[in-house]
Amino acid sequence: MTRKDSVRLAAESARETVRHASEVVAPYAESAKDAAVHYAHEANERLAPKVSYAANEAARQARTTYDSHVHPRLKAARTHVPPNVDRAATKAVEQTRRAARQAADYTQPRLESALAAATPVAGEAAARSTAALAALRGQVTPQEIQRLVRRHERRARRGRLFKGVALVGLLAGGAYAAWKWWDQQSNPDWLVEPPAATEVPAGDTAATSFDDELAEKEREAGSGPAAGDNRQL
């Protein structure tokens, strides 16, 4: 047995071992995934009502405590507090509420954007997990994975090229529009003088009429003898 044959046998043995391991692990991985999804869904269904009820109960209890204990004491204290201190406390409360409202307005859009950004990431992670599970099962070969990777790379390059061409075209169109506007502002139509009318000099007119008259007389002189001969015949 040559060295090449031994390497080939080792590679085939390793491939068979990996395939066997993937076949053994794949059912456990799928069952673990299904179990995790089931437990997460069940926990959400069980905990969501309890959390909502606890939050409502805490809010109601806090409101009751405030109305029964804190509010009467604050009211009694305000009757014994000087007006300046009362105004300062009221102003501080208003500023605190305004700051809380501003903080809520600041954080809410960012939380929404973070959730919107996390949704595609979660989808991508789920898709990759499915692809990895399919690869473990042996349904996807390494050649197919490489083809998919190359296809995605080509698609990304085409997308970048299209964006670059569109950007260049947009810049060129903007530059042409700016040049046309600048040209119209620099050379408006009312500043352009009409071309001067071309006049024929009087000497040229006289020379033309003299040449025409001379040619007419030559034609008459040439046709005279021919007419006389015709009359004699």
pLDDT in tens, 217-229: 777 776 655 444 4
- Quick check: 202 pLDDT over 50? no
Tell me the mean pLDDT in the region 44-70.
80
Tell me the mean pLDDT in the region 200-204.
49
Rounded CA gap, 219 and 167, in Å?
76
pLDDT in tens, 154-172: 888 888 888 988 888 888 8
At 197, the pLDDT band (50, 70, 90 cuts) reads low
Confidence (pLDDT) at 191: 54
Confidence (pLDDT) at 203: 47
Tell me the mean pLDDT in the region 135-141.
60
Long-range contacts of 32-40, Cβ-Cβ distance < 8 Å, separation of 24 or more? 33/129, 33/133
Tell me the mean pLDDT in the region 6-10.
73
